[in-house]
Amino acid sequence: MSTAMPPLASAEACPWRRAAAWLLFLAPFFFITYGLANWSASQRADVPSLVFEWEHAIPFWAWTILPYWSIDALYGLSLFVCLTRHELDTHAKRLLTAQAIAITCFVLVPLRFAFAHPAADGVWGLMFDALAGFDQPFNQLPSLHIALAVILWALYARRLSGIARLAMELWFLLICGSVLTTYQHHFIDIPTGLLLGALCLWAWPFADEGNGRAIAAQWQWTRDMEWYKGKWDYAIYTTRTLTPHQIASGQFPPKEAIHVIEADGVPLAAILKSHDHYLADAYPQLYSRSFDSAIVNLKKAIAWNPNNEEAHRVLGGVYVNMLDETNARIHLKKALELLPENYEVYDLLGLIEFNKKNYEPAIKLFHKSYGLKINYAMAYYHAATSYMNMQKYAEAIPEYENCIKQNGKLPEIYMALGQAYFLTGNYAKCVEAETNAVNLRQEMPQAYQIMRDAYTRMGNQEMAQACTQMIEKLQSMGVH
């Protein structure tokens, strides 16, 4: 076992290999999905066109196939002009997003280019022939060509300045105009392509743009009964996880709602605008055990909305931790009034009895808790601990096993299960549980101690000695 931290990877100034990897993915992805979208449209009997009458006056300029084709080279080169890994990944995500959205539109709403292509001679003719080798008169709206031009311009504009940048921007204007003068797109495809490109820039900002966080990262899911845990400015909540009592008692929509979506007078969802972050500020204070500060914020949340079940429940939990039974029961009772099926409240009420060593009533409350929510792991754990304190080790085992079934990532639970098996004389199962514990976290001398005792009882002195050596090693490192 080694406790040495792995060396931190240094930032790669010019991430060439990663750029090559992105290119090896994006290039086939582009041609395969683009080709599939063309094929999909070709299978339809009647693909319409969206064209204005005045577009018939747009000239066909064969030479503009050069700027049109040049976007391919600019696309591949762009991945290698990124200076950092973050810039590269952001740029690649923009390209990938534009491709995915455009291809989806091409498949769902296919359109056809309406004009016949005039003949082109010489080099320009050869370039048109090459284009016709994989392109067809479909894949129109939004113009992927335009969207990619917007994304590429945004990157090259970061690298160039002065005359070079002016020349680059003029060239990109030629690229955008060429989609019309090569008879590849109709006008309506251009503004929609610009919009798609702008959407990709907005969705994946570079580190120095805005707050540098992707739009996707600024959305977050909330767990059931934790609506106010995260800090948000706006939220969309539905009634999917609410009980009929919560809806009938007027708890939905919440007080912060600014718009409610209903069906036949029944609320289905609500858009909320945050009034404060009292609850969101209280959660980290709880984790750092700054209970007094948390209480201040939770009381402010309740003062603004006395029917905030989450605030009452969390505040009741704080008082449980502080062994303040009177205030704990006041707020837990209110939370139960607001949500009678409140499995977390029954667990907290069980802890009140547990703290007073009233294990039998505590266990009944824990059972009621996970009876309301079968996958609520903490209630199983608390019930098991109660049985252990009552020296009913056999009864504790199924509680621990159910806890692990719902959440098998906590080594402490495996260690406690191993101890229960040891105390019931099942040393093989004890070793199995403690092995699972140390596999999840090696720095657990208590688990090795229980395992050593089990091996000793089993007569396996070699493994017992190995456990002793691990205990001594951990202790020498200051792990107790």
Tell me which H or E stretch contains 469.
Answer: helix 461-476
Beta bridge partners of 262: 267
Q: Where are the domains of the chain?
A: 16-216, 220-341
Cβ atoms < 10 Å from Cβ of 429: 17
**Maximum distance among all Cα pairs of the chain, rounded to whole angstroms:** 95
d(CA 269, CA 271): 7
Residue by residue, DSSP assigns 374-424 as TT-HHHHHHHHHHHHHTT-HHHHHHHHHHHHHH-TT-HHHHHHHHHHHHHT
State the Cα angle at 141 between 103 and 151, rounded to 5°: 70
Closest listed residue to residue 96, CA positions, set 257, 233, 214, 190: 214
Round to whole Å and give the CA distance between 150 and 154: 6
Residues 6+ apart with CB under 8 A from 25: none
Torsion sign, CA atoms 325, 330, 333, 335: negative
Q: Give 3-state DSSP helix, strand, coil % of the chain, rounded to 5.
A: 65, 5, 30
Q: In Å, what is the CA distance from 240 to each residue of 125, 229, 305? A: 60, 18, 22
> Which tokens in the block code for residue 429?
């199962």
Residues 94, 189: Cα–Cα separation, whole Å: 19
Write the burial class of residue 381 (CB in 10 Å: 0-12 exposed, 13-18 middle, 19+ buried). buried
Strand partners, 270: 237, 260
- Report the pLDDT value the prediction gives residue 37, as an integer from 0 to 100: 85
Q: What is the pTM of this model?
A: 0.58
Residue 454's closest CA among 432, 436, 480? 432
DSSP H helices in 12-134: 16-42, 65-78, 85-108, 122-132
Quote the tokens at residue 156. Answer: 């090259």
Q: How many CB atoms lie within 10 A of CB 80?
A: 14
pLDDT of residue 8: 34
Q: Are 302 and 275 in contact (CB under 8 A)?
A: no
**pLDDT tens across the length of the chain (480 residues):** 333 333 333 344 568 889 999 999 998 998 888 888 888 888 888 888 788 888 888 898 889 889 988 998 999 999 999 888 888 999 999 999 999 999 998 888 888 878 777 888 888 878 877 777 667 777 778 888 999 999 999 999 888 889 999 999 999 999 999 888 888 888 888 888 889 998 898 888 887 665 555 555 555 555 666 677 777 777 777 776 777 777 777 777 887 888 888 777 777 788 878 788 888 888 899 889 999 999 999 999 999 889 888 899 999 999 999 999 999 999 999 999 988 989 999 999 999 999 999 999 999 999 999 998 898 999 999 999 999 999 999 999 999 999 999 887 889 999 999 999 999 999 999 999 999 999 988 889 999 999 999 999 999 999 999 999 999 988 888 877
Place of tokens 């020498």: 476
Residue 467 near residue 448 (C-beta atoms within 8 A): yes
User: Which amino acid appears at position 371 of this protein?
Assistant: G
Q: How far apart are CA 345 and CA 343, in angstroms?
A: 5
Q: How far apart are CA 201 and CA 176, in angstroms?
A: 17
Alpha-carbon span 145 to 164, nearest angstrom: 22
**Percentage above 90 pLDDT, the chain:** 43
**C-alpha atoms less than 13 angstroms from C-alpha of 382 in its C-beta half-sphere:** 29
φ/ψ (deg, to 5) at 79: -65, -25
Q: What pLDDT, on the 0 to 100 scale, is given for residue 109? A: 85
The three-point CA angle 294-300-301 to 5° equals: 90
Cα distance from N-terminal residue to C-terminal residue, the chain:
16
Question: Residue 92: how many CB atoms within 10 A of its CB?
Answer: 22
| Rounded Cα distance, 235 and 219, in Å | 9
Tell whether the torsion through CA atoms of 354, 359, 363 and 365 is positive or negative.
negative
Cβ-contact 321, 290 below 8 angstroms: no
Which DSSP letter does residue 246 get?
Answer: H
Query: Is the CATH number of domain 220-341 1.25.40.10?
Result: yes
Which H or E element spans position 236? strand 234-238
